Amino acid sequence: MEHAELLAIEKRHLWHPFTPMSDWCEDSHQPLLLAEGSGCILRDSEGREYLDGNASIWTNVHGHAHPVINAAIAAQLQRVAHTSFLGFTHAPAIELADALVGLLPGSALSRVFYSDNGSTAIECAARMAMQYWPQNGRPERDTLLSFDRGYHGDTLGAASLGGLPVFKGAGNSFGYRVVCVPTMEALNSLPAETMARIAAVVIEPLVQGAAGIRTWPRGMLKQLETWCRMHDIFLILDEVMTGFGRTGRMFACEHEGVVPDFIALAKGLSGGYLPLAATLTTERVFQGFLGEGQAFYYGHSFTANQLGCAAALASLRVFRDEKVLEQLPGKIGTLARLLDALRDHPHVMDIRQCGLVAGIEICQSRLPLVEYGPALRMGHQVCLTARKHGLLTRPVVNTLVLMPPLCVTEEELVRMVNAVRLTLDEITAV
Ligand code: PMP
């Protein structure tokens, strides 16, 4: 189909996530039709090139069209694309589980349950925790604890854990019974009757992504782990965004030597190539499901999809063979220096960075501080303008997110931050 015909059908029949479709469908809006990619570069249908500034919604790890991952998917495709994991098993899932268990600190998370996206990875952990306690003598433990501004996905169960009202939509009371707290300190003053009912705590370790790249105070994760151990409450780490190198280590929990009871992995698990997720948990939790007639009543058709597992195994090989983690400190340092030089910009209110994850919060003016009202959708406008400067990314309200694939070069980082500066300068000029 021709470009114009595709766009006409797009506007007639498509509906996009988190997108005000009235703006999208306006005649003046030309949707960007992405056609191909290699490394950190994406090309549109007319051959224009852009830097993939948010790793294709925080998924891509080693760049697009990586030959090792492409070849692994193609080779698996020759064997079989998908078979059921209900009642059967297969080599890619087994080999990947073995590799994942070995990657995680202390190999304490020794049981792997597959699903297909970040929301389901979190739901698995939540439902395992909620099923575990009644099965193991603690029926009163029927509540999950999460943090204000946390985000754990959009299916009803995952969204019920979130602390950002925008993701809950009209119905705020669906899903699990959840208590939301703002800080670690607030945990210590929970009433005894609430404490008695908590089955698990869920957190995005080190940094809350969808809240606008908000970093937790250093040491907070360790304190939370200690608190969970003291009260024998499960700790669920949502490493859907932070996993697979984003924070500078393979997993964010490694920065504070924390070993959770559950870890949810998705996005970068398959290198960002295919929808695949895994929830890892301990032998203790697994044992809690071995009673007569017991099972974990949960599963999806595409659980442990072979192509996804093959891509994930290839991605782990790339981590090893290309020494990806070893190269991160240099890139993270470069990004920090480049962002530092942006701090004085009159439209920059704050810059937050955790590894190769950065949030640049913009404002109308810094001195005196005047923030952009959400109705202006300024973050969105800025990201549209950034395209002219060869950068693709997506904001969280007024925070521009830079989260490139880990394969980003220092020169590409310079171009990314430069594109942000040029775009911000343009607002000043208006
Ligand atoms: N948890 C976190 C921390 C996330 O950032 C996201 C997605 N942005 C999710 C869960 C949900 O993942 P998915 O979109 O694959 O369902």
pLDDT in tens, the chain (430 residues): 899 999 999 999 999 999 999 999 999 999 999 999 999 999 999 999 999 999 999 999 999 999 999 999 999 999 999 999 999 999 999 999 999 999 987 789 999 999 999 999 999 999 999 999 999 999 999 999 999 999 999 998 899 898 777 766 655 556 789 999 999 999 999 999 999 999 999 999 999 999 999 999 999 999 999 999 999 999 999 999 999 999 999 999 999 999 999 999 999 999 999 999 999 999 999 999 999 889 999 999 999 999 999 999 999 999 999 999 999 999 999 999 999 999 999 999 999 999 999 999 999 998 889 999 988 899 999 999 999 999 999 999 999 999 999 999 999 999 999 999 999 999 866 4
Separation of alpha carbons 327 and 228, rounded Å: 34
Q: How far is the CA of 430 from the centre of ligand 1 (A)?
A: 35
Give CA–CA dist 59/80, Å, rounded.
24
From 252, 233, 309, 317, select the one nearest 278 (Cα to Cα): 309
Pocket mutation for ligand 1, best pick of 116, 123, 151, 203 (most atoms within 8 Å of C-beta): 151
Q: How far, in Å, is the centroid of ligand 1 from the Cα of 72?
A: 25
Which distant-in-sequence residues (6+ apart) come within 8 Å of 73 by Cβ? Answer: 273, 274, 307, 310, 311, 314
Report the atom number in ligand 1 closest to the C-alpha of 155.
16
Specify which residues 166 forms β-bridges with: none
Q: Which residues of 84-118 are buried (b: 16+ CB within 10 A; e: fewer)?
A: ebeeeebebbeebbeebeebbbeeebbbbbbbbbb
pLDDT at 15: 97
3 state SS of 422: helix
Q: Which residues line ligand 1 (CB under 6 A)?
A: 58, 117-119, 122, 151-153, 204, 209-210, 238, 240-241, 266
The model carries a pTM of: 0.97
Q: What is the C-alpha to C-alpha distance for residues 94 and 30, in angstroms, rounded to an integer?
A: 45
What Rg value do the Cα atoms of the chain yield, rounded? 22
**Protein residue whose Cα sits closest to atom 15 of ligand 1:** 118
pLDDT, position 170:
55
Ligand 1, residue 119: give the atom nearest the CA.
16
The per-residue pLDDT for 168 is: 64
Q: From edge to edge, which strands make up the β-sheet containing 143-147?
A: 111-115, 277-281, 262-265, 234-238, 198-203, 143-147, 177-181
**CA 243/CA 69 separation, integer angstroms:** 18
- Are 136 and 288 a contacting pair, CB within 8 Å? yes
Q: How far apart are CA 70 and CA 55, in angstroms?
A: 17
Contact 140, 193 (CB under 8 A): no
CA–centroid distance, residue 265 to ligand 1 (Å): 9
**What order of strands is seen across the sheet that includes strand 399-402?**
348-354, 357-362, 399-402, 395-396
Q: Which of 15, 37, 20, 236 is closest to 118 using CA atoms? A: 236
User: Atom 13 (ligand 1): residue with closest C-alpha?
Assistant: 118
Residue nearest to atom 12 of ligand 1 (CA): 118
